[in-house]
Structure formats: structure tokens, C-alpha cells
Amino acid sequence: MRLTMIGSGYVGLVSGACFADFGHEVTCVDLSEAKIAALQDGQIPIFEPGLETLVSENAEAGRLRFTTDLAAAVADADVVFIAVGTPSRRGDGHADLSYVYAAAADIARAVTGFTVIVTKSTVPVGTGDEVERIMRDVNPDADVVVVSNPEFLREGAAIDDFKRPDRIVIGIEDERAREVMTEVYRPLYLNQAPLMFTGRRTAELTKYAGNAFLALKITFINEMADLCEKTGANVQDVARGIGLDKRIGPKFLNAGPGYGGSCFPKDTLALVKTGQDHDTPLRLVETTVSINDQRKRSMGRKVIAACGGDVRGKAIGILGLTFKPNTDDMRDAPSIAIIQTLRDAGAKVRAFDPEGMAMARGMIDGVEYCQDAYEVAQGAACVVLVTEWNAFRSLDLPRLKASMAVPTFVDLRNVYRAREMEAAGLTYVSIGRPA
């Protein structure tokens, strides 16, 4: 099949490369000439394990192409995916749909013959109806059906998630789309990935409900961690104890500094707005959003408390800046609020991240960036593990301690065991575990 992706950002590029790998002919479109030129040259604008190889193999095989010529790419396509960004709208937190609607109008002008239009971008319930209305307004003769097919990819594991999904959700309002979408996903379908067909509005809402539920699960265990700290219980064992109940499940129960990234914060906020717009306040999600926002700064205060309540003039070392490992993404990363809180309290912050420092430099002021964890530790009154990169999982603890001014280690991801830290002479503070 001939597939066109409108938007060659994270979702468009990963999906495009994976579809090409299935044997489809894929064209990825983007407005940015610089981005397309780089992609044609084999340069990948994002850090995602395995993506560079997948793109180059499929480009060399002639199945994956990049262009800025939207009209030509759409005219040739059987299926056009809208995979543009839907950031939070400034001021009110609603999803900003201007890129989606602009893409819909551009596609309508260029489309020829029967074409399935698929929204892959995360869009609020009802957006598919508006996309369809815009397309019919712009080109009343367009023979199109509009489908919702949300993505459930995790950054850092996106290719695996695409090729081995738990499910594929497809929302259709016109039966002609069913056969086409089954064909698009045939390789996965043959691998027995459940293809779930439902209504378009239901598919749109399923995406938000999924992300909100995961955010809620994380926030629940984070609050349990706080209670564990006050009562001498161990949150990892609580998580294991409840996670073994199949109705609850073991995943997304790792307590930490709060969720970040380009999806959970933006999507929970947008879902809250949708609820309010429909006179159906989603109080659990509203509370989750506010608990998580407060948690990030409270992690900064936790570090200050570990330093005896005063960090003025002291060097604090930060290990990991990105919102999670295996990505260079700094969007809504807990490190931002933690560093801000420490700097507000007068600390001098030093930091290292294996992939995130380029993006961090443009977002966080007044940080001294280092080459590795050991440079971060030099003269530090405390080292804080914020993101659980593999590089921080097996640190040479005696070496780290030797260069610190005060050997305090705050582990916001519970990577280490208290016993090994204490054996290395470090004062160890973690999340929701007895000292």
C-alpha cells in the first residue's frame, strides 16, 4: 500500500519507518526543508534506539522517502496519516489543534481518488468530526473517510512498541475504512496483535483515558511512597505486593520524582479541559495533575532536607536530566523543577545527562554541565540521581564518594540498595523506603 505521513516528528517518523519495514511504500512529509534534507541525508533529528538503522535500511530499499511536497505525496496515497504535534495551547491547557486542521485542509486540496485519512496525533474526542467537516468544506468532491488510530508508543522503546503492540485501536465511522486499515496492519494482525475496531470518538477518548490511567497509577504509588516514608514501610514491596494481583498489574508502579515527558502532562491537562467543557469534571485526573505538579518541586525540597535544610552556596550534583532514560527529551522533565527549587535556595547546580544536555542548555539557566557522573560529584554536598540511565546504575561508589565534599546521595529512582550505599560510606536517601 502507499502510505503518506503528514509530519515527520517523533510519531510520524517512527510509524513511517515501521510501516515501511512491513513492506508498505511510505512517504514522510514535513514543512521543514532543513528536517527533510537531513532525513534524506540519513540524519535522524531525534534520539530513539534503533530508529537510525530502520530508517536507513528502508530508505535504501526504496520503501521510505522524505519530501516537503505534500500535494504530490497525498495525491499518490491510499492512506494519509496526520501525525503533527498537538501541544498544550498557551494559557488554557487545551490541545492546540491548529496543525491538525491545517493538515486536513492541505490534504483535502491535494487528494485524488478514494483515500483513508487517519489521525495518529493525540486529539480530543470529536476532532475527527471537525477534520471531516474541514475536508468537505475545502473540497466537497473529496472521496475520503476519516479514521482515528491513536498511537501508544513510549519514547525510548517506540520501535518495539510499534512492532509488538498490546493492541491497535481503530475508530471508524464508515465501513470502507475497515478493510483498508486491516490491510495496513496486516503484518501485526497476522502476529495476533488485537486489532480493535470501534467508533471514532471512542478511539480518540481511549488514547486519553489510557494515558490518564497510567498517570494516575504512577501518582498513586508516589503518594504511597510518601506514606511509606512516614510509617517505615517499603514502597517497592507495597508495589510488588499489589502488582502481583492480576487485576492491578505490576507495571507503572515505580515511585519516583513525578511523571514528565511530552505526553502525560499535556494529555492529562487536555482531558481535564475536555471534561470541564462537557460539564463532566474528571476529579481524579484533575487531582493527579495537581499532585504531580507539586511533587516535582517537593523533590527539590527533599534534596534540601537531605542536605540539613540549607543548600546556600553548596554544590549539588544532578545525574540525569531527561524525563526518562533512552531519550533526549527534556519536556516537562522533573529535573527542571528540581533544579529550579535548588537554585532558588541558593545552590550551585552541576549536572550530567548522556543525551539530554543539548536540549537542557536551552531550557535551564545557571547549570554547570559536566562530562560524567564523577565530574558532577567533585566538591558536591549531595549527588541526586534524577533519571535512571544505565550509566548511573553501576557507579563506582568509592570513587564517587572520594570526590564529594559531603557524601550524601539522594536516589529519586530507587536504583540502589541502602546496604551497598552505606557500605560505600554514603548517606543514602531514596523514595518510600526505610533508611
Contacts with ligand UGA by CB under 6 A lie at: 122, 151-155, 211, 214, 218, 252-254, 256, 259-261, 263-264, 267, 323-324
The Cα 265–Cα 259 span in angstroms is 8
Q: Are 155 and 324 in contact (CB under 8 A)?
A: yes
7 — phi, psi (to 5°)? 105, 115
Q: Which is nearer to ligand UGA, 155 or 411 (CB)?
A: 155
Helix (H, G, I), strand (E, B) or coil at 57: helix
198 — phi, psi (to 5°)? -155, -170
Among the listed residues 263, 307, 370, 382, the single catalytic one is 263
Closest separation in Å from C-beta 9 to ligand UGA? 11
Closest separation in Å from C-beta 103 to ligand UGA? 18
Torsion of CA 341, 343, 345, 346, to 10 degrees: 170
Closest separation in Å from C-beta 265 to ligand UGA? 9
Please classify residue 226 by burial: count the beta carbons closer than 10 Å to its beta carbon, then call 0-12 exposed, 13-18 middle and 19+ buried. Answer: middle
Helix (H, G, I), strand (E, B) or coil at 247: coil
DSSP H helix total and E strand total for the chain: 18, 14
- As given in the structure block, the three cell numbers for residue 38 are 537531513
119 — phi, psi (to 5°)? -85, 120
Closest separation in Å from C-beta 259 to ligand UGA? 3
The helix-helix angle for 98-110 and 127-138 (nearest 10°) equals 40
Closest separation in Å from C-beta 230 to ligand UGA? 20
For the annotated binding site for substrate, the residues are 152-155, 207, 252-256, 260, 324
Q: Which is nearer to ligand UGA, 13 or 108 (CB)?
A: 13
For the annotated binding site, the residues are 30, 35, 86, 122, 152-155, 207, 252-256, 260, 266, 324, 331
CA angle (379 as vertex; 377, 380 as ends), nearest 5: 55
- As given in the structure block, the three cell numbers for residue 258 are 513525578
Closest separation in Å from C-beta 81 to ligand UGA? 15
Rounded alpha-carbon distances, angstroms, from residue 243 to 232, 249, 382, 417: 20, 4, 33, 21
For the annotated binding site for NAD(+), the residues are 30, 35, 86, 122, 155, 266, 331
Closest separation in Å from C-beta 93 to ligand UGA? 16
Q: Are 197 and 53 in contact (CB under 8 A)?
A: no
Q: Are 31 and 81 in contact (CB under 8 A)?
A: no
- As given in the structure block, the three cell numbers for residue 414 are 530507587
The amino acid occupying position 197 is: F
- Rg over alpha carbons for the chain, rounded to the nearest Å, is 23
Local structure of residue 66 (DSSP, 8 states): E
Concerning whether 263 is annotated as a catalytic residue, the answer is: yes
The Cα 419–Cα 435 span in angstroms is 10
* Residues tagged active-site: 263
